[in-house]
């Protein structure tokens, strides 16, 4: 997923960009409001940059972050997460009214920030990931069908097939595969997967996740389809068509 980081502090931006990169994000860094606005404008060829999420710091050197948010919202529907030290309720309400999709107060927990990024990206109606291509490409959805090489994941009917042959999955196995398949190449943290698939916290469920991943690899006969990212979680590696 491409992400636009609007942050005037180069040290903060470098540290956060490194973390985001480890979790599968391609980060574009804008140091002020004007750079942020230029980053979302169409190119000379008419192509509009595609970002999954915009992380917008409010304390910018050239203009107020609220103003930037309002102008960005007129240019793109990309989800905006405001990141700021302003923790009062009035500031949060003002930001949300201007079009922000979420509001994170500094200092924040990195895990929570990553979870919020994925949450707003899922709610976005537009393309949120460079790994999602045109219909029929790995990770694309056509009438609710995700195609990943020989694997087809039918979301409405909850059916999965490999080379046209149906594969019987349990409910949780399907939910896990569908979650990963909607964003091929993106690393999902273990905590996030447990929260979304099992609707519970991470504690005591780690082994359950490992068992389900192993079962999926076996049933799909594709051990390399789901990659383990050591110390972080899992991602789906879309096979060639």
The torsion defined by the Cα of 182, 184, 189 and 192, in degrees rounded to 10, comes to: 0
HSE-CB at 129 with a 13 A cutoff on CA atoms is: 24
Backbone angles phi, psi at 235, to 5 degrees: -145, 155
Task: Give per-residue pLDDT as tens, 77-114.
Answer: 889 999 988 888 888 888 888 888 899 988 888 888 99
Parallel/antiparallel/unpaired status of strands 140-142 and 145-148: antiparallel
Q: Give the domains, in start order, of the chain with CATH numbers.
A: 2-123 (3.40.50.2300), 140-236 (1.10.10.10)
Question: Could you tell me the two tokens for 81?
Answer: 């997460």
pLDDT digits (tens, 9 = 90+) for 150-206: 999 998 888 999 999 999 999 899 999 998 998 888 888 888 888 778 866 655 566
- Rounded Cα distance between 142 and 131, Å, is 15
Write down the pTM of the prediction.
Answer: 0.60
- Residue 192 CB partners (closer than 8 Å, separation 6+): 114, 115, 118, 233
């Amino acid at each position: 997923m491409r992400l636009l980081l609007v942050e005037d502090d180069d040290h903060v931006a470098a540290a956060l960009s490194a973390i985001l990169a480890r979790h599968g994000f391609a980060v574009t860094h804008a140091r002020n409001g004007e750079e942020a606005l230029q980053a979302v404008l169409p190119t000379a060829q008419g192509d509009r940059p595609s970002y999954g999420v915009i992380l917008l710091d409010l304390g910018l050197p050239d203009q107020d972050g609220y103003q930037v948010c309002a102008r960005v919202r007129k240019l793109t529907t990309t989800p905006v997460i405001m990141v700021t030290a302003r923790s009062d309720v009035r500031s949060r309400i003002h930001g949300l009214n201007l079009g922000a999709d979420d509001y994170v107060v500094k200092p924040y927990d990195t895990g929570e920030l990553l979870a919020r990024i994925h949450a707003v990206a899922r709610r976005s109606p537009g393309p949120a990931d460079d790994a999602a291509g045109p219909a029929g490409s790995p990770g694309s959805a056509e009438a609710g069908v995700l195609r990943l090489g020989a694997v087809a994941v039918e979301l409405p009917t909850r059916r999965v097939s490999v080379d046209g042959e149906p594969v019987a999955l349990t409910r949780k196995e399907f939910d896990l595969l569908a979650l990963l398949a909607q964003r091929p190449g993106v690393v999902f943290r273990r905590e996030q997967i447990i929260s979304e698939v099992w609707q519970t916290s991470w504690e005591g469920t780690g082994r359950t996740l490992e068992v389900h991943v192993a079962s999926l690899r076996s049933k799909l006969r594709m051990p390399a389809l789901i990659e383990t990212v050591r110390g972080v979680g899992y991602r789906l590696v879309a096979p060639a068509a």
